[in-house]
Amino acid sequence: MGSDGVVALLPMRANSQRVVNKNLRPLASRPLFEWILDSLRGSEMFSRIIVDTDSDLLAEASRSSFPDVEIAMRPKHLGDHRASMNDVISNRLPDIDEEHIFQFHATSPLISQETLKSVVKYYLEHLSEFDSVFGVDRIQARFWSSSLEPINHQPEKLIPTQDLKPLFLENSAFYGFSRTSFAATGQRIGLNPSMFPVPREESLDIDVEEDFKLAEILMLNREGLRN
């Protein structure tokens, strides 16, 4: 299917706390989960794509729309919203022979094939420098702590925001790591990670209902489906 030694892992839970049944919910005329699977397959960067789920409905829907995708059923206790994604990955790792793993979320539907190609190539080209990579938003804005302490600016020196030192927000778009790194830390972000900025129009992660509505607007615009 794609690059030897690089597998794509897409965990999907049956239940969601804040947006009910979101992985199967239609987004711009398609179930949400189909968008990321379509991009993963179209990028041709992965030797295999594995859907890890506790949901028979999600498993059957994935098989039906993407017959070449592999389905792996996880234990029910790892479908709980309190289960750590690192635990989900650890459970699946014995079934993965590839050395390099990229983990994605169906709730980041706007990631493009071009960005996927770029980050996988970046990761593979820098294996001697970094043990993992994760997606971020690069943000230049005035941040404050909960105790009203300025974080990255001086209120008495009101410099333009474009001149502020940027901060980086982990956006959950993707996590790339090696089996070796995960074995050493038990975490998808290793001891020597690298950040990879994601275009803002692609980095939206659906956590709440407002995110879903915004994602649909952006997807309709991207696909040219708006009236």
Span between the terminal Cα atoms of the chain, in Å: 36
Q: Is the residue at 1 inside a domain? A: no
Q: Is 99 left (phi over 0), alpha (psi -120 to 50) or beta?
A: alpha
Q: Is the residue at 109 inside a domain? A: yes
Q: Is the residue at 26 inside a domain? A: yes
Rounded CA gap, 106 and 11, in Å? 8
- Which two structure tokens, joined as six digits, stand for 61? 């829907």
Question: Which CATH number is 174's domain given?
Answer: 3.90.550.10
Single pTM value for the model: 0.92
Nearest to 83 by CA among 58, 53, 62: 53
Q: Is the residue at 158 inside a domain? A: yes
Q: Is the residue at 100 inside a domain? A: yes
Low-confidence stretches of the chain (pLDDT < 50) are 227
Nearest to 45 by CA among 10, 1, 9, 108: 1
Q: Is the residue at 79 inside a domain? A: yes
Q: Please state the separation of Cα 127 from the chain's center in Å.
A: 20
Q: Is the residue at 189 inside a domain? A: yes
Nearest to 219 by CA among 205, 201, 206, 207: 201
User: Please, what sign has the CA dihedral across residues 66, 71, 76, 77?
Assistant: negative
- Which two structure tokens, joined as six digits, stand for 44? 């041709």
Q: Is the residue at 217 inside a domain? A: yes
Q: Residue 3 has what pLDDT?
A: 56
Q: Residue 81 has what pLDDT?
A: 76
Tens of pLDDT, residues 175-205:
999 999 999 999 999 999 999 999 999 999 9
Q: How many domains does the chain have?
A: 1
Give kind and range of the element (H or E) at residue 223: helix 209-223
Give the domain extent around 103.
6-223
